[in-house]
Amino acid sequence: MPDLPSLETLLAVVTTGSLNAAAGELGITQQAVSARMRALEATLGISLLTRSPTGTAPTEAGILVSEWADRLLGLASEFDAGLAALRRERRDELRLAASLTVAEHLLPQWLVSFGQSVEHAPKVSFTATNSEHACELVRSGDVELGFVEGPQVAPGVRSRVVAHDTLVLVVPPGHPWTRRRTAVSADELARTPLVTRESGSGTRLFLDTMLAAAHDPDMSRAQPVLELSTTAAVRSAVIAGAGPAVVSDLSVRDDLGRRLIAVPVSGLDLRRALRAVWIGGDEPRAGAARDFLTHVTRSAGRP
């Protein structure tokens, strides 16, 4: 197949009737036009033009090829315009998924500051879910960018640390642990029925990973007393006396010292990374997602 510039040059020669006029129309030299025509004729194996002192005229084959070239160049222009429209649409839309901790306590402020930092803020839609499902939405292409809390991400997904938080063990006022003088050990925490998030939650996966590494493997792990789908439900269950819970400090800051008491834990490092996840290269392919990730990386506070 000949390249598009060669076909464009042929069409210009046929339309203007001379190499020199075609060169002027295309903004190149006459020598360049001649070279393109010779290369095109060599590629196709047919004569396209007849040259004379009065000008340049197409052969019968040249007329036919120029008609085909006209249709092909029109389709190429339509193709290019369509791609440009798709790029504008993707830049004008930002589709996100975020684990509940990020969605409730960090994402809103990131979106506000991002909207204030750009001339034309994209239309934003986001799904608040657990970390496992956020990764699934990214892998399926339903969203361009996700934010998760777990200690690891799904295979094939790229990630970048954008913030940190710390998990805290909380109980209601009056719980026996509020009167103890020593921290709760990893083994004791593992043996205690907790109020937890559902399977797939980044918070639960992180805690399970930390406890598996720290507590005595010969001791059995207590089953959760409740498994709930939102952090707000976990917080309410603890306040109601259902049992202790380990949650992000971001989600209980307003309750600590009043409706909830933080209990020290020993033998566990409960500080964790919060990550952005996407599919592709070093950055998301979609322009709005790439711009938003850059903004978050530069400006996000890291508690």
CA–CA distance, 280 with 229 (Å, rounded to integer): 30
Strands 123-129, 93-99: pairing is: parallel
If we measure between CA atoms, which residue out of 214, 207, 251 comes closest to residue 232?
Answer: 251
In a domain? residue 95: no
Backbone angles phi, psi at 237, to 5 degrees: -65, -40
What is the reported pLDDT for 122?
84
**How many domains does one find in the chain?**
2
Is residue 96 a part of any domain in this protein? no
DSSP state of 224: P
On whether both 152 and 187 belong to a single domain, the answer is yes
Could you tell me if 39 and 144 lie in one domain? no
**pLDDT value at position 285?**
80
Q: For the whole model, what pTM was predicted?
A: 0.67
CB contact burial 103-127 (16+ within 10 A = b; e otherwise): bbbbbeebbeebeeeeeeebeeebe
Whether residues 40 and 82 share a domain: the answer is: yes
Does 123 lie in the same domain as 76?
no
Using DSSP bridges, classify how beta strands 158-171 and 261-263 pair: parallel, antiparallel or unpaired.
antiparallel
Residue 123 confidence (pLDDT): 86
Phi, psi of 70 (to 5 degrees): -60, -45
DSSP string, 86-98: HHHHHHHEEEEEE
Last residue of a domain, one of 62, 90, 118: 90
Q: Which of 233, 239, 280 is nearest to 260 (CA)?
A: 239
Q: How far apart are CA 50 and CA 67, in angstroms?
A: 17
Closest Cα to residue 202, out of 158, 154, 238? 154
Give the separation between CA 243 and CA 222, rounded to whole angstroms: 12
Task: Give the whole-angstrom CA distance, residue 111 versus residue 104.
Answer: 12
For residue 99, the SS3 value is strand
Residues 110 and 79 placed together within one structural domain of the fold: no
Domain that holds residue 196: 101-302
User: Domain check: are 79 and 169 in the same one?
Assistant: no
**Could you say which of 90, 120, 148 is where a domain stops?**
90
Report CA Rg, the chain: 32
pLDDT tens by residue, the chain, 303 residues = 888 999 999 999 999 988 999 999 889 999 999 999 999 999 999 999 998 877 789 999 999 999 999 999 889 888 887 776 666 555 578 999 999 999 999 999 999 999 898 877 788 998 999 999 999 999 998 999 999 997 777 788 999 999 999 999 999 999 999 999 999 999 999 999 999 999 889 999 999 999 988 877 667 789 999 999 999 999 999 999 999 999 999 999 999 999 999 999 999 999 999 999 999 888 888 788 988 999 999 876 443
Look at residue 168 and give its three-state secondary structure: strand
Alpha-carbon gap, residue 96 to 103, rounded angstroms: 10
Report the SS3 class of residue 275.
strand
- My answer on whether 108 and 257 are in the same domain is yes
For residue 57, the SS3 value is strand
130 and 60 both lie in a single domain: no
76 and 107 together in one domain: no
Where does a domain end: 90, 113, 137? 90
Is residue 182 located within the same domain as residue 44? no
Residue 80 and residue 106 share a domain: no
Co-location of 198 and 80 in the same domain: no
